[in-house]
Amino acid sequence: QVQLVESGGGLVQAGGSLRLSCTASRVIFSINTMGWYRQAPGKQRELVAVITSGGSTNYADSVKGRFTISRDNAKNTVYLQMNSLRTEDTAVYYCNVQGRSYDGNRELWGQGTLVTVSS
């Protein structure tokens, strides 16, 4: 079955860095966009970064200049390099993949990986 597997979360001090990875296994539809969302306790899930099949990227204002999204199409993997981390970045980060199959649009979510930034 199609699934997204995330890794790379953990505990890091403010100012430090982490790199998240998400790999889509046995995907049977054409992938268009890949991205990262996050959800902090008591808050709405929000878009962090997204990258299209053509390599175009968009970032939330709060992470611009600090986070970088990239993808490896051969590996069906999307990455999120997070630098200069702040305590406000603490959240569960979810991988998201969107695409199209023969009969419509498709969307997958990863299981979530916890990023905790300490002061």
pLDDT for residue 1 is more than 80: no
**Which pLDDT does position 29 carry in this prediction?**
85
Nearest to 88 by CA among 47, 21, 36, 41: 41
The residue behind tokens 């406000």 is 88
Q: Is 110 helix (H, G, I), strand (E, B) or coil?
A: coil
Q: Tens digits of per-residue pLDDT, 31-63? A: 899 999 999 999 999 999 999 999 999 999 999
- Name the pLDDT band for 71 (thresholds 50, 70, 90): very high
The Cα 73–Cα 106 span in angstroms is: 17
> Would you say 97 and 3 are in contact if contact means Cβ atoms under 8 Å apart?
no
Question: Rounded to whole angstroms, what are the CA distances from 13 to 7, 9, 82, 115, 117?
Answer: 18, 13, 12, 11, 5
**Which pLDDT does position 27 carry in this prediction?**
75
pLDDT for residue 103 is more than 90: no
**Which pLDDT does position 23 carry in this prediction?**
95
The Cα 92–Cα 86 span in angstroms is: 14
